[in-house]
Amino acid sequence: MSLYIFYISNFLLLLCLTASLMQSSKIINNKIFTRPGVIVLAYVQLISILLSFLILTYLFLISDFNFDLVYFNSHSEKPLIYKFSGVWGNHEGSMLLWILILVLFNFLFALSRRISEQFKEITVAIQSIMIFGFVAFLFFLSNPFALNQNNFFDGIGLNPILQDPLLAIHPPVLYVGYVGFSLVFSLAIAGLITKEVDQQWASIVKPWVFSAWAFLTAGIALGSFWAYYELGWGGYWFWDPVENASLMPWIAATALIHCVLILQKRNVMQSWTIILAILTFSLSLVGTFLVRSGILNSVHTFASDPGRGLFILLFIFLILVFSFSLFAHNFEKINKTSSMGLISRGTGIQVNNWLLITILTIVFLGTMYPLATDLLLNKSLTVGPKYYSTTIAPIIILFLFFMFISPRLGWTDTKLYKIIIQLRYLIITSLTITLIISLYFELFNLTEILIIFFSLLLIISSVTASINFNKQNILVRTNLGQNLAHAGFGILMMAVVSNAVYSEERIYNAKVGDNLQLQKYIFSFDKIEQVEESNYNSLKAYFLMKKDGKLIDTFTPEIRFYSNPPTITSEASILHKFFSDIYLVMNVPQDQQSISVRMHIKPFMTILWLGTLMIIFGGVISASIRIGRFDEK
């Protein structure tokens, strides 16, 4: 039975290869194959990969250990949902998922209407060249359907850190983000080839760019959220190389959406848009490569295999060389000179795009520098979080300012002082609130104060801009997506800064009966229990949290002992209140008498996640605004 499945799945992969080859050929105007058409082939591509994916899922669900992949990454005792997410909790499976999404976007685009047939064919052809490349890579170098040569009774299992519902959906969501930009890339190349990168092109691209961006934001947020819950360190972002690998395309993508907006409204900034489109997708690919090749040491690496790394590097290299050569070649034919005034919305966006690129450089440099010093000078270096926060914080101040002021400026030259006067109440309110915060919370660091001030300006400005009454006194939706996302960003920045400044941590060695203090709360260590679950045993500690003698809540941090594979994890116990989280973690006990307990107060976490949600929804709303319209109001 397994043998049949082996043959069928590999056949499906080959089928996709063939269909993609035929799609790719349509890039040549002579049309070697007019039949089958673009849509039919797109169906074949989608169905072949979808079926392969479903088959792989089935193999995991029934725990068929005849297949290598299932053996190495699953176990019969695993809960069902984690058998399911085990499909993509490994290199080969996640590659197949990646390809599935690649093919899905291909399909959805092939179905679009109101796009010229020629343009559609070229875009789909580019997309299919990439599909071909990835499927070939999968088939020859990372085949998920490889058969197990031996007979094993049961699988090795999935790393328990990965057995978490959040982490189960993090890859798919993130991948929709990464891979969504493959289509944007294909559209950019098609634009270069047809030499038409104009307002209409921008209208076509816009919903794809916004959807991919929204998913990418959501994927990153999910990963960050998971880290906060699962890793037990109280943090949500560590500037870990793989986190950076997902952040870099996001930064480029944010610059890209703003370029697309300008392109659509004013028909300028063509070259920036194309460069950013290529860059965003390239960064998504480089992110993939860094994670899989083993050149980075990170919590994430799941395929330390330079051979595969070499292939992906080659692939990325070819794509980039081709696209940037094409860009250099067609540069003059697509570019229109900018005619935006000095003090204008366009300039504001341009400035912020450049700030984004600066931040991108910082993240890139921080991630790559240790590799460079190691390679070139044989010296090791660590680039930790402080590097990033010190260099990025001042930039964020400027960034927030331009985010605040640009939507208030016109597209042509505007008098700045007039705008300032118009917004005087806004500015005074923000200033007052900032001063109150600063005095009440004893915040005297200039960078932090400035970030809070400009975040407030941004938040209030975005909220008031979205509440607009027309002449009939009916609420009008103006740029809701933009304002929601911008307000969300302001909230996020305020929360990030406040959280960084006001987080507190205490570490204690505690025995049963001890009372531990954290700010105005006292935690009594009540008892410790042994618990048995289906795939782990745990030590569960009970802490009673009291304030002024009254019991508020019970915390139950755990240390879990898994058997497949043998791992020990520490589970945090978290209490969410609106303004802060309280976080309790046990460390693996050093001796029999006492355990080491960490207690954190993490202010504004809920608000932080709220800000992130607002950003995501802002993106979703902007994605749904109809194409074909140049004016949104």
Partner 1 sequence: MFRIIKIFIVLFLLQNNTIAEDPRAIELFKEVRCLVCQGQTIHESNAELAEDIKNLIREKISQGETDRQIKEYLVEKYGDWILMTPPFNSLTYVLWSFPFLIMIIGAFAIYRQKRGQV
Partner 2 sequence: MKSNHLKFLPLVLIILLSIFLFFSLNNDTSKLSSPLVGKKVPEFSLPNLFGQEELTNLDLNSENPILLNVWSSWCIPCRAEHDILMVLSELYEVEIFGLNYKDNNEEAKNFINDLGNPFVKIGSDNSGRTSIDLGVYGVPETYIIANGIIIYKHIGPIHMNEMEEKILPIIRDN
Contact between 443 and partner 1 (CB under 8 A)?
no
Binding residues for partner 1 restricted to 588-617, rule: CB under 8 A: 588, 590
The answer to whether residues 181 and 280 touch, using CB atoms and an 8 Å cutoff, is: yes
Structure token pair of residue 425: 């109440």
DSSP state of 575: E
Binding residues for partner 2 restricted to 367-406, rule: CB under 8 A: 368, 371-372, 374-375, 378-380
Given 11, 33, 140, 317, the residue binding partner 2 (CB under 8 A): 317
Give the residue from 568, 564, 566 showing the smallest Cα distance to 74: 564
Which does residue 361 bind out of partner 2, partner 1, none, counting CB within 5 to 8 angstroms by kind?
partner 1
User: Does an H or E element contain 505, and which?
Assistant: strand 504-510
Contact between 627 and partner 2 (CB under 8 A)?
no
Contact between 310 and partner 2 (CB under 8 A)?
yes
Which does residue 299 bind out of partner 1, partner 2, none, counting CB within 5 to 8 angstroms by kind?
partner 1
| Part in contact with partner 1 (CB under 8 A); list of ranges 52-60, 110-118, 190-198, 295-303 | 295-303
Binding residues for partner 1 restricted to 545-584, rule: CB under 8 A: none
**Spatial distance between the Cα atoms of 335 and 323, rounded to a whole number of angstroms:** 16
Per-residue H/E/C for 294-318 = CCCCCCCCCCCCHHHHHHHHHHHHH
Contact between 384 and partner 1 (CB under 8 A)?
yes
Give the residue from 45, 163, 198 showing the smallest Cα distance to 567: 163
Which does residue 98 bind out of partner 1, partner 2, none, counting CB within 5 to 8 angstroms by kind?
none
| Part in contact with partner 2 (CB under 8 A); list of ranges 153-161, 182-190, 222-230, 320-328 | 320-328
Contact between 302 and partner 2 (CB under 8 A)?
no
DSSP E strands in 514-572: the ranges are 515-518, 521-532, 536-547, 550-555, 558-563, 566-571
The backbone torsions φ and ψ at residue 439, rounded to the nearest 5 degrees and listed phi first, read -75, -45
Q: If 0-12 CB within 10 Å is exposed, 13-18 middle and 19+ buried, where does residue 390 land?
A: exposed
Q: Give me the residue label for tokens 């976007």.
A: 105
The dihedral built from the CA positions of residue 371, 377, 382 and 383, taken in this order, carries a sign that is negative
Is the CB of 373 or the CB of 554 nearer to partner 2? 373
Binding residues for partner 1 restricted to 511-530, rule: CB under 8 A: 511, 513-517
| Part in contact with partner 2 (CB under 8 A); list of ranges 172-180, 312-320, 576-584, 591-599 | 312-320
Residues 6+ apart with CB under 8 A from 508: 514, 516, 596, 597, 599
**Spatial distance between the Cα atoms of 437 and 614, rounded to a whole number of angstroms:** 23
**Which pairs count as long-range contacts for 325-332, CB under 8 Å and 24+ apart, including other chains?**
326/189, 326/192, 326/193, 327/192, 327/271, 327/274, 327/275, 327/278, 330/192, 330/193, 330/195, 331/271
Smallest distance, partner 1 to C-beta of residue 517, A = 6
| Part in contact with partner 1 (CB under 8 A); list of ranges 315-323, 356-364, 446-454, 625-633 | 356-364
Contact between 472 and partner 1 (CB under 8 A)?
no
Which does residue 606 bind out of partner 2, partner 1, none, counting CB within 5 to 8 angstroms by kind?
none
Smallest distance, partner 2 to C-beta of residue 276, A = 11
| Part in contact with partner 2 (CB under 8 A); list of ranges 12-20, 218-226, 306-314, 443-451 | 306-314
Contact between 375 and partner 1 (CB under 8 A)?
no
Q: Is 350 helix (H, G, I), strand (E, B) or coil?
A: helix
Which does residue 342 bind out of partner 2, partner 1, none, counting CB within 5 to 8 angstroms by kind?
partner 1
Contact between 412 and partner 1 (CB under 8 A)?
no
The identity of residue 192, as a single letter, is: L
Contact between 82 and partner 2 (CB under 8 A)?
no
Which does residue 421 bind out of partner 1, partner 2, none, counting CB within 5 to 8 angstroms by kind?
none
The answer to whether residues 310 and 373 touch, using CB atoms and an 8 Å cutoff, is: no
Contact between 369 and partner 1 (CB under 8 A)?
yes
* Residues binding partner 1 (CB under 8 A): 233, 238, 240-241, 297-299, 337-339, 341-342, 347, 350-351, 354-355, 357-358, 361-362, 365-366, 369-370, 373, 377, 379-387, 390-391, 395, 505-511, 513-517, 587-588, 590
